[in-house]
């Protein structure tokens, strides 16, 4: 009886912790998306800065989430930050390149772009968050979150006809906030269920 109560208490505590972590990750994803949406358009018209900005913001927010919310402390925090930011920049640029150059059908395009961006982030996080066990589930859960974010964006775009409104700011705000929020939710789940916390 005592053992059963102890298990119930531990499960309840784990669920509460996961709920708080999930809320914090979701909020950080939303904030990072809003910053990319509203600050990006007012940046100086310098190509490398405009190209790198979304990845820098995303990478910094992921670093913060890992270090201060999920407690994925790295002894080499500066190199972890640089790897996360670099992986995020590469992910965004590859996703945009695929979106522009691939010629994929729109039905799959945003899901593929979302998975590519999320995959780059996941690979960077293997080093930055020191993921040593559960590598494949961690990467797959992150990839699925990215692909789902792209799919959901395309679905909303189809239902609302947002592309026909001819408002780039609205389109990019929806893309950044939706995809980055879902990526952060996926990362929270991937950390909790896809990899060992003590790695």
Per-residue pLDDT of 113-128, as tens digits, reads 999 999 999 999 999 9
User: 24 versus 108: which is more confidently predicted?
Assistant: 24
CA atoms within 13 A on the CB side of 102: 17
Per-residue pLDDT of 144-175, as tens digits, reads 999 999 999 999 988 988 777 777 788 889 99
Q: What gap in Å lies between CA 131 and CA 195, rounded to an integer? A: 7
Reduce the DSSP state of residue 102 to 3 states and report it.
coil
Q: State percent of the chain over pLDDT 90.
A: 61
Token reading at 3: 């053992």
Q: What gap in Å lies between CA 31 and CA 28, rounded to an integer? A: 5
pLDDT at 17: 54
The residue ranges of every structural domain in the chain are: 2-194
């Amino acid at each position: 009886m005592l053992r059963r109560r102890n298990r119930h208490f531990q499960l309840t505590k784990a669920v509460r912790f996961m709920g708080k972590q999930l809320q914090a990750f979701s909020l950080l994803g939303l904030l990072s998306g809003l910053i990319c949406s509203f600050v990006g358009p007012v940046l100086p018209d310098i190509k490398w800065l405009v190209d790198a900005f979304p990845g820098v913001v995303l990478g910094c927010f992921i670093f913060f989430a890992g270090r201060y919310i999920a407690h994925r402390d790295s002894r080499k925090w500066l190199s972890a930050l640089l790897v996360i930011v670099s992986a995020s920049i590469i992910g965004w640029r590859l996703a945009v390149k695929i979106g522009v150059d691939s010629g994929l059908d729109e039905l799959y395009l945003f899901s593929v772009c979302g998975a590519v961006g999320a995959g780059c982030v996941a690979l960077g996080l293997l080093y930055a968050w020191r993921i040593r066990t559960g590598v494949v589930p961690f990467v797959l859960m992150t990839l699925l979150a990215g692909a789902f974010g792209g799919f959901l964006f395309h679905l909303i775009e189809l239902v609302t006809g947002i592309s026909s409104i001819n408002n780039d700011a609205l389109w990019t705000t929806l893309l950044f906030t939706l995809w980055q929020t879902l990526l952060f939710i996926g990362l929270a789940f991937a950390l909790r269920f896809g990899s060992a916390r003590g790695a």
